[in-house]
Amino acid sequence: MPTNAEIYDAAQKLKDEGKLEEAVAKLQELLAASPNYALAHSALSVYLGRLGRHPEAVVHARKVCELEPNDMRSFVSMSMVCVKAGMIEEAEYAKARAATLQMQSRQ
């Protein structure tokens, strides 16, 4: 049975080959077995956004922030995904959270 990393790598390969739908399916397969695999949620957010499936992308961006609440980059990504989905208020919240985390990391 392949490991999470192997399934993730297979999804990345599919993405690199321009097979975004197949990459999405591979990541969804991974998350069915390991629902808290943050890296898979992050990649899904990006891939779904590229496919124009913004509401789904937001769901995965939120999950990354839930799983990695102290990672500034997670909130920056969430802000960008929310902007593309037209969710400006949530994008602003995520941007502010990212700024707060950045300031805290400098202290």
Those residues whose C-beta lies under 8 Å from the C-beta of residue 54, and which sit 6 or more positions away, are 48, 81, 84, 85, 86
Q: What is the pLDDT of residue 1?
A: 85
Q: Which of 54, 23, 28 shows the shortest CA–CA distance to 41?
A: 28
Q: What is the pLDDT of residue 107?
A: 80
Q: What is the pLDDT of residue 75?
A: 97
DSSP class of residue 37? -
What Cα–Cα distance (Å) separates residue 27 from each residue in 6, 7, 21, 101?
A: 11, 7, 10, 28
Domain that holds residue 19: 4-106
Q: Report d(CA 56, CA 11) in Å as an integer.
A: 18
Those residues whose C-beta lies under 8 Å from the C-beta of residue 99, and which sit 6 or more positions away, are none
Q: For residue 24, what is the domain's CATH number? A: 1.25.40.10
Residues of the chain with pLDDT under 50: none
Structurally, the chain folds into a number of domains equal to 1
Instruction: List, for residues 38-64, the tens digit of each pLDDT value.
Output: 999 999 999 999 999 999 999 999 999
Contact 55, 36 (CB under 8 A): no
- The structure's pTM equals 0.93
Q: Which of 36, 32, 60, 34 shows the shortest CA–CA distance to 46?
A: 60
